[in-house]
Amino acid sequence: MDYPFQTNIHQLEKEEFIDCLYDLFHKEEKEDYDSFLDMLYGKFGKSIVEKFLKPYNEKLYAVDLKTLDKDAMGRFFPYADIPAIIDNMKANKDSTSYNNSFLYPRNGAGSFIQILYDALDSSKILMEHEVVKIDNEHKVAQLDDGSKINYEYLINTSPLNHFLGYFEGEKFSALKNRLSYNKVLVFNLGFNKKSKFTEEHWMYIPDKAVNFYRIGFYDNILDADKLSMYIEIGYGKEDEITEQDVEMQLKLTLENLHKLGIIDDDTKLEEHSTIIMDPAYVHINTETEKMVQQFKAEEEKNGIYTIGRYGAWTYCSMEDCMIAARDLAMSLCQG
């Protein structure tokens, strides 16, 4: 099926389509929703939620959807009303999704970083060091080699749960423990030949019998002559991903790619690499969001700013992060 699922239910088998359409017409909307899951049922009805939205997002977030705020995905959640769905049935083409077309740098997102780096005095840039402690009272950051740096402003873009560990004090550790998120195991796979799927850029897989929730085709994006893919597998915050887990998931992934018809008996894995995103997606809920905003406001008085998707602990795009960085830089320069 084409994505978003909720605007393409006409592509389902007739009986399933009727179920979805009936439940959509008879959904029970409310002024206020208690959770992300509550919002899904209220906006889309039982069938759309239970056929795709609930199982997929449970695989993605690796958490009970009742614990997520109703606006956990912000503008990135593709809502659809009945008129839009009906219109899409006739046009058979969705033109409203936020990511159905986009521009991307020819040499990758690293191009932005390289341009910024080339414009700076490299003697004032310190690489391959890690901050291990921050004294926010005296404005001193300690590095992993024992050296200390005095700062006027400190701007953090690392994950907030890691950043909070650099401070001493109960309020910092309390907030760190409250933060919820998932981890994602990512495989990058290179095969000896193309797949029969030659047009798709990425796919969403709600079926819980399949270990991954999303897959993507680098070769189709880059017009390459061999299948190359990324595979994403969700884990909970407390889950430990061991070498044995990675080996097991790689084996399962290859089996499931074969079952789905993406690879066949003649398709051989030639290269692969593994990435563990920790954190991957932050879990946004109202109470924790208030605590995060309070922390940010208090530390800004001390010259400390934490921004970006992970630094600000939010669900946003790459361009949102770039705009936030530009705005902060302009504000500090003017101040």
Segment 254-313, tens digit of pLDDT: 999 999 999 999 999 999 999 999 999 999 888 899 999 999 999 999 999 999 999 999
Q: Say whether pLDDT at 82 is over 60.
A: yes
The string of pLDDT tens digits covering residues 140-177 is 999 999 999 999 999 999 999 999 999 999 999 999 99
In this predicted structure, what is the pLDDT of residue 318? 86
Report, as an integer, the average pLDDT of 202-230.
96
In this predicted structure, what is the pLDDT of residue 115? 93
In this predicted structure, what is the pLDDT of residue 99? 64
Contacts of 269 (CB under 8 A, 6+ apart): 189, 190, 191, 254
**What are the backbone dihedrals phi and psi of residue 324, each rounded to the nearest 5 degrees, phi first?**
-60, -40
Kindly indicate the confidence band of residue 96, based on its pLDDT and cuts at 50, 70 and 90: low
Q: Say whether pLDDT at 37 is over 90.
A: yes
- Cβ-based neighbour number of residue 66 at 10 Å: 10
Domains of the chain by start residue, with CATH:
5-91 (no CATH), 110-180+283-334 (3.50.50.60), 183-277 (3.30.70)
Cα torsion 141, 144, 147, 153 to 10°: value is -20
Do you know the residue count of the chain?
A: 335
Kindly indicate the confidence band of residue 227, based on its pLDDT and cuts at 50, 70 and 90: very high
Nearest to 154 by CA among 170, 133, 172, 168: 133
Q: Say whether pLDDT at 73 is over 80.
A: no
In this predicted structure, what is the pLDDT of residue 79? 72
Q: Is there a contact between 233 and 193 (Cβ–Cβ < 8 Å)? A: no
Higher per-residue pLDDT: 98 or 84: 84
Q: Say whether pLDDT at 42 is over 90.
A: yes
In this predicted structure, what is the pLDDT of residue 93? 58
Report, as an integer, the average pLDDT of 233-261.
97
Average pLDDT of the residues of the chain = 92
The string of pLDDT tens digits covering residues 314-324 is 988 888 999 99
In this predicted structure, what is the pLDDT of residue 224? 95
In this predicted structure, what is the pLDDT of residue 81? 72
The string of pLDDT tens digits covering residues 282-291 is 998 888 999 9
Q: Say whether pLDDT at 182 is over 70.
A: yes
- Cβ-based neighbour number of residue 23 at 10 Å: 18
Q: Say whether pLDDT at 189 is over 80.
A: yes
DSSP character string of 209-276: TSS-SEEEEHHHHHT-SS-EEEEEEEE-TT----HHHHHHHHHHHHHHHHHTTSS-TT--EEEEEEEE
Residue 95 CA from chain centroid, whole number: 22
Report, as an integer, the average pLDDT of 86-114.
75
Distance from C-alpha of 107 to C-alpha of 14, rounded to nearest angstrom: 44
3-class DSSP state of 150: strand
In this predicted structure, what is the pLDDT of residue 136? 93
pTM score: 0.88
Peptide bond between residue 4 and the one before it cis (omega within 30 degrees of 0) = yes
Higher per-residue pLDDT: 107 or 279: 279
Distance from C-alpha of 142 to C-alpha of 135, rounded to nearest angstrom: 8
In the chain, the amino acid numbered 95 is S
Kindly indicate the confidence band of residue 92, based on its pLDDT and cuts at 50, 70 and 90: low
